[in-house]
Amino acid sequence: MTTIINSIILLGILGFLSGSFLAFAAKKFEVKEDVRKIIVEASLPGVNCGACGYPGCSAFAKAFIKGEVKNDGCLPGKRQGVPERLQKISNLTDEQLNELFEKNENEVEKTKSEIESM
């Protein structure tokens, strides 16, 4: 009976230590995504149609940030005002965009609506 109790205690301790280590490692080696890409992708319609020449909205957002694509490259988004939103985003510096994102508690929709009101 004591071996069963000792085994349960040992497994509990090992599980707790392993979980703590994994939580620490996840936080330590976290990969932070570019704020500009997150907001550009949220400004796109999200159709992932490929009409822009890229496999989806995420690839288009990356290309827009790199400067490979103009702001009017998203065909489905032209009627929704995507080129104007992308122009406003490209006018902001990285520091301004990061400040807006942090001020809005990392909420993409709040940040996007604040940029649109500028």
The model's pLDDT over 5-24, given as tens digits with 9 standing for 90+, comes to 999 999 999 999 999 999 99
| Structure token digits, residue 80 | 């929704």
Whether this model's pTM surpasses 0.85: no
Query: For the residues 20-47, what does the mean pLDDT come to?
Result: 89
Report residue 71's pLDDT band, with 50, 70 and 90 as the boundaries.
Answer: confident
Count CB atoms within 10 A of the CB of residue 97: 19
Is 39's pLDDT higher than 90? Answer: no
- In one letter, which amino acid is 55? P
Taking the C-alpha atoms of residue 105 and residue 42, their distance in angstroms, rounded to an integer, is 16
Tokens of 65: 């940030």
